[in-house]
Structure 1
Amino acid sequence: PRIVARIAGALVGISIVLWSAWSMVAVFVVLDRRPRTDDANVTAHVVGVAAHVGGYVSRVAVVDNQPVKQGDLLVEIDARPYEIALSDAKAKLALSEFEVRELEDRIVVAGAAIEAKHADAEYARQYLARIEPLLARQFVTPDQVEDAKRAVKVAEAKLVESEAELRRARNSLAQLGDVNVRIAAAKAAVDKAQLDLDYCSIRSPVDGFVTNMAVSPGRYVRSGEQLFALVDGSRWFVVANFLETEIARVKPGAAVEVWLMAYPGHPFRGTVQGLAWAVTPSETRDVGALPAPSPTLDWVRLAQRFPVRIVLDPFDPAFPYRMGATATVIVDTQTRREIPAWIERTIPDWIRGVPLEPETRPPGSDL
């Protein structure tokens, strides 16, 4: 019995050693061909919804977490002040058009007056030129000559006055080429008032989901004040942090398998969009514009982790994505390292890199 026990113990020990060696090879294969990480989360673009104009909220057309389409009405602001402003701007536009027509008539009248004054001045000069030679022969008196000279000066002064009146009318008209500045300014005021009125209806800029809704009718909002946010549902991503020892095998365009903790039996697909070019080193935290994933502290020197952005395929409505969800990411590197064939034949397909079936669950997915 002792010999049998010793032999059995030896066989068990040998089996454990062989199993350990096989397990190391299997782990080597899966990590080499299919880098994976549990340090990943689902994310999406977040669009802040803000008021373009100030006023009291008259209606809230959505509720928190509601899906919306681009162009859907979200919130209405009391439009009455902006309707009045639009009516006032339109009235001022009509008044400006009337004033412009009046100034155009004044310009026509001033032009005709200039022609008349020019004719009067020309006649006065000609009359003076006729009678001046007659003074030496005493056919006219000196007073008549002086009166003629005075008439010339008066006619020329009236001509200058008419020309100045024409310039004033043209300046008041404010015509620059084919554009009348008065009317252009009035039309711009109408457009601005119409835009402000349109802004009273806040509409969704994207297809997405309402989040953090805290607006109710009667609340006064200021221009530029953010009211709530929309999660853009058109594109979803996973940001996965891979060790720097692994990212050399992760390439843009590589196929990715994603497992979400919320749906443990359902795999998702995606594509690597790109790898981060920089992160903040753990020793320095002064570059706020760079991502700074926190390493797991240990007594050994730790490899830095770099965020990898993965574009997810459109989801099944039965399994919707949620921003912030915990994910496990497995990247198909399409690479193979030479190992003995007899060892590779003993490794299951899911370890060798064959895509997992939807009902198959990877090891560690229940963590």
Structure 2
Amino acid sequence: MRHILGILVSLAAFAGLIWLGFAAAARMQASPRTNDAYLQADLVHMAPDVSGRIVELDVQDNQLVRRGQVLFSIDQEPYRLRVTQAAANVRALQATIGVTANQVASQTSKAGVASTGISSAQAQLALATSTLHRLEPLLGRGFVTAQQVDQARTAQRTAQVSLDQARQQAVEAHQGISSVKPDEEALVASQAALALAERDLRLTTVRAPCDGRITTLDIAAGEFATVGVPLFTIIDTEQWYAVGNFRETDLPAIRPGAPALVYVLMAPDQPIHGTVDSLGWGVEPDEGATFGGLPDVPRSLNWVRIAQRFPVRIRLTSPPAALLRLGASASIVVSRRVAGP
């Protein structure tokens, strides 16, 4: 009886283990989970937009800063001088445009007078021609003398010469009319240069683009800042994420928008709520690299294949600030249910 009872107990224990295995598998299938996770936040590498000597450094390493807070200031003197220079160029061009406009008005008036002279010369030529045409038929009849006809011809030629001179003067007057267009275009360029100089002056005061924590700060006032070269980094604390590496067999059960629970290692009994933000679509394979245009396929084959893991990004909802550390270890449990209607 003892032997039979021992067999029954062993069978019951074995069946219980099988049941627990199936239950665990079903639970894993219903709620994919991973212990290979960590907290993540966006990073802002603070690089200045203008170069210069740092005259004020208003933050310390690991300090909490708010959006718009002054981080450091660059020497403003050369940028103030550039603004003064650009403003003077704008004023000079504006004055030049005023003088040129007056010259254009005077030249236009002269051209108008020249055009009036053409009309007068044309009238004189018409009168002289008409007089000549009247006198020529009377010469044969003896009503006018040859001298009178010669005088009429001379008057016509003189009127023609006056008309040609008036036309030439009108052409020269119109050609002499200048334009303010080049000066106006130069003014637009100088105004743009002034706007850029004023912008550079504003950018000598560098402000925080977001709420966050200062990190990797190892400079002091007096350091020379160069455009585009980061001086330190801000951890953007306005939005936190958890990134977990899930097996590829779990990915079909994970949908963007699905609710998730995140457990940070420093407080494993305090769940942080979140939603699935996105699923990773690629990782670097261990094999299959390309050499010389051909794939590298190893000769040996491992019969035991471990499922690849892909990162899944979880957006945290109102996480407690005390638990948030960039890179902190975490666990993630994802529900199959998608949040929302």
Which TM-score bucket, shorter chain as reference? 0.7 to 0.9
Aligned positions of 1:123-272 closer than 5 A: 123-131=120-128, 133-134=131-132, 137-139=146-148, 140=151, 147-166=158-177, 169-170=178-179, 172-174=180-182, 180-272=184-276
Matches of 2:204 and 2:58, distance apart in 1? 13
Given the alignment of the two structures, is residue 80 of structure 1 paired with residue 77 of structure 2, yes or no?
yes
Deviation, 1:160, is 0.9
- C-alpha separation between the residues in 2 aligned to 1:197 and 1:284? 53
Counterpart position of 1:275:
279
Q: CA RMSD in A?
A: 3.0
* Counterparts of 2:46 and 2:235, CA distance in 1: 10
Q: Would the aligned equivalents of 2:128 and 2:152 in 1 still touch at CA under 8 Å? A: no
Spell out structure 1 runs of 4+ moving beyond 6 A. 6-12
Aligned-residue identity in percent: 30
1:52-96 Cα deviation digits (max 9, x unpaired)? 111111111212222222211112111111111111111111111
Larger Rg: 2
Is 1:30 the counterpart of 2:33? The answer is no
Residue identity matched to 1:247: L
Q: Is the contact made by 1:104 and 1:173 (CA closer than 8 Å) also made in structure 2?
A: no
Provide the residue aligned with 2:143 in structure 1.
none
SS class of match (1:284)? coil
* TM-score (structure 1 length as normaliser): 0.76
Residue 331 of structure 1 corresponds to 334
1:224 positional shift: 2.1
**SS of residue in 2 equivalent to 1:265:** strand
Match of 1:108 among 105, 108, 114: 105
Distance 1:81 1:285, change over 3 A: farther
**How far has the Cα of 1:158 moved from its partner?**
1.6
Q: Does 1:64 align with 2:61?
A: yes
Distance 1:131 1:251, change over 3 A: closer
Structure-1 separation of matches of 2:127 and 2:44? 88
Q: Deviations over 1:154-193 (max 9, x none)?
A: 3222211110122xx22x4348xxxx42332222122111
Aligned-partner Cα distance in 2 for 1:19–1:43: 40
Deviation of 1:312 (Å):
0.9
Residue identity matched to 2:336: T
Give 1:312's aligned residue: 316
- Aligned partners of 1:245 and 1:328: how far apart in 2? 18
Segments of 5+ residues of structure 1 without an aligned counterpart are: 287-297, 336-367
One-letter amino acid of the counterpart of residue 30, structure 1: R
Residue type matched to 2:225 in 1? V
